[in-house]
Amino acid sequence: MATRIDTLEPVPAPERPPERRLSPREWARENLVGTPFDTVLTIVFALVVAWLVYRLGKFVLVDARWEIIERNITNLMVSRFPRDELWRVWAALLVLAPSLGFGAGSAAAARRREVAEGRAAAPPERASALRRAGPGLLLAAVLLWFAQSLQATFLTLVVGILGAGGYLLGRRLSLAGTRAALVVLAGIVVAYGLVTAFGGVGWEDWGGFMLTVFLAVGGILLAFPFGVLLALGRRSSLPAVRAVCVAYIELFRGVPLIAVLFMGAFMIGFLLPEGVDRPSLVTRALIALVLFTAAYVAEIVRGGLQGVPAGQVEAAQALGLSPVRITTRIVLPQALRNVIPGLVGQFISLFKDTSLVAIIGLTELLNVSRNITAQPDFLAQGLIVETLVFAAFVYWTGAYWMSRESQRLERRLGLGER
């Protein structure tokens, strides 16, 4: 007879959870060599990974002739930008860093407020600031290593400090969203002015990584309002408006970016009436990027609009708000908050896609990487591997950094898990 328990023993005191810390040996058994198949997999993968790491490490540290990057670091960053006007770029960075930092700090403060007021969930995990800034710091360190210039190092440090200062200030002041956005926008405008105004350098003479960033940022900023209008149009109750917006969105989503860039490069001139000068190639590329990106932004925003519960609109109607007010005051604010991760994703795509303007002849990062291998000192030495690896690294750190931050944001907003 088994012991049957009908009467209850006194409540046992809460025990500690059993220790789940595994010894390295147990860990290996559970994670690497559980079954014979697992063991084989582990061995095969270990060999392949070791070989790849060895080859990559040997290339980066031993074989690669990085001199071409060292000598051309300025070229890669700004290309044809006049050298005696470079101070303008640094000045612009010195303005941009604190204002962007201020924006990030304000956003962090806003999130804190929401958590404190119980309007948002507390962050699931806290990553250290160093870890979060990791890819950016790595990129800066590598660039400075190649630059080997005290002046650049000093200026970069100042930019970093100003950025961090802006962040702390933004968190302290904790301005409302629109005001913080105004500060960021003002920073961008002043920075742009510093580069271009008073005998400065217009964007048709920008190049290198600077042009890459400009096309990506300018592209998304200009595509955003256009995309929102298209999304609203696609959800309009007016069939004619809807049809036109659908046609536009499907057309641009159905063709490759390079076709749109060809359109910008070769066709825009024909679309203008006689007497109007054709805009510069950079401008035309930017127009193409905006036309293309707007269609994708529209679809992202449409997703956000669909995510706003119908009850919200009905409640607003019950309160007697006008349709325009309902859209601008009730629907859009909720929808746009939900589309931020999607927009960041689109920005990352655009950042990578700006490399395509190399095909129509703009000297952005990728094109410079190719061109410098044709310099007399480096001609026909197969240095394209070094320059492309460098360019790929720059793109990778940027895209990886942003996608990691975007995932954090997504978790914070509680999206993406359902």
Partner 1 sequence: MSAENGQSMIRLEGVSKWFGDFQALKGVDLGVERREVVVVCGPSGSGKSTMIRCINRLEKHDRGRIVVDGIELSDDLRNIQEVRREVGMVFQQFNLFPHLTVLENVTLAPRQVRRWNKAKAKEKAMEHLHRVRIPEQAHKYPLQLSGGQQQRVAIARALAMEPKIMLFDEPTSALDPEMIKEVLDVIAELAESGMTMIVVTHEMGFARAVANRMVFMADGEIVEVGTPEHFFENPQEERTKQFLAQIL
Partner 2 sequence: MLRLVGQAVFLAAVAALLLFLLDNVVYNLRRLGIPTGFDYLDQSAGFAIPESDFRSSQSLLDALLVGVENTAKVSLLGIALATVLGVAVGVARLSTNWLVRRAAAAYVEAFRNVPVLIIIIFLWLGVFLRLPPIGRAVEILDVVVLSNRGLVVAWFDKTGSGAAFGVVALVGLLLAAAVWVWRTRRFDRTGQPHRRVLWACGVLLAVLAAGFFATGRPWTVATPERGALATTGGFRLSPEYAALLLGLTLYTASHIAEIVRGSILGVPRGQSEAANAVGLSGIQRLRHVVLPQAFRISIPPVANQYLNLVKNSSLGVAVSYYEVTKITQVSISQRAPAVQAILLLMGIYLVFSLSIAFVTNLVNRRLALRER
**Site for partner 1, rule CB under 8 A:** 1-6, 8-9, 11-12, 14-15, 17-18
Give the residue with the Cβ less far from partner 2, 148 or 381. Answer: 381
Q: Cβ 115 to partner 1, closest distance in Å?
A: 21
Q: What is d(CA 416, CA 69) in angstroms, rounded to the nearest whole number? A: 40
Q: DSSP for 355-372?
A: GGGGTTT--BHHHHHHHG
Q: What is d(CA 21, CA 407) in angstroms, rounded to the nearest whole number? A: 29
Which residue among 122, 176, 251, 319 contacts partner 2 (CB under 8 A)? 251
Give the residue with the Cβ less far from partner 1, 9 or 274. Answer: 9
Q: What is d(CA 51, CA 61) in angstroms, rounded to the nearest whole number? A: 15
Amino acid letter at 25?
R
Which residue among 108, 137, 173, 263 contacts partner 2 (CB under 8 A)? 263
**CB proximity list for 231: less than 8 A, separation 6 or greater:** 245, 297, 298, 299, 301, 302, 305
Instruction: Identify any residues that bridge with 208 across adjacent strands, giving them in sequence order.
Output: 364
Q: What is d(CA 102, CA 276) in angstroms, rounded to the nearest whole number? A: 41
Q: Cβ 43 to partner 1, closest distance in Å?
A: 24
Q: Which does residue 183 bind out of partner 1, partner 2, none, counting CB within 5 to 8 angstroms by kind?
A: none
Q: If binding means CB under 8 A, how many residues of this protein chain bind partner 2?
A: 55
Per CB under 8 A, contacts with partner 2 among 351-410 are 352-353, 355-356, 358-359, 366, 370, 382, 384-385, 388-389, 391-392, 395-396, 399-400, 403
DSSP 8-state class, residue 8: P
Q: What is d(CA 320, CA 332) in angstroms, rounded to the nearest whole number? A: 18
Which residue among 26, 29, 34, 315 contacts partner 2 (CB under 8 A)? 34
Q: Cβ 4 to partner 1, closest distance in Å?
A: 5
Q: Which does residue 36 bind out of partner 2, partner 1, none, counting CB within 5 to 8 angstroms by kind?
A: none
Give the residue with the Cβ less far from partner 1, 3 or 23. Answer: 3
Q: Cβ 401 to partner 1, closest distance in Å?
A: 30
Query: Which phi and psi angles does 318 have, rounded to 5°?
Result: -60, -30
Give the residue with the Cβ less far from partner 1, 370 or 411. Answer: 411
Q: What is d(CA 181, CA 21) in angstroms, rounded to the nearest whole number? A: 47
Q: Cβ 412 to partner 2, closest distance in Å?
A: 19
Contact 300, 342 (CB under 8 A): yes
* Listed residue (52, 53, 28, 55) closest to 42, CA to CA: 28
Residue 16 token pair:
């500690």
Is 364 in a helix, a strand, or coil? strand
Give the residue with the Cβ less far from partner 1, 12 or 376. Answer: 12
Give the residue with the Cβ less far from partner 2, 269 or 307. Answer: 269
Residue 134 token pair:
């990791």
Q: Cβ 118 to partner 2, closest distance in Å?
A: 28
List residues binding partner 2 (CB under 8 A): 31-32, 34, 38, 41-42, 45-46, 48-49, 237-241, 244, 251, 253-259, 262-263, 266-267, 269-274, 348, 352-353, 355-356, 358-359, 366, 370, 382, 384-385, 388-389, 391-392, 395-396, 399-400, 403
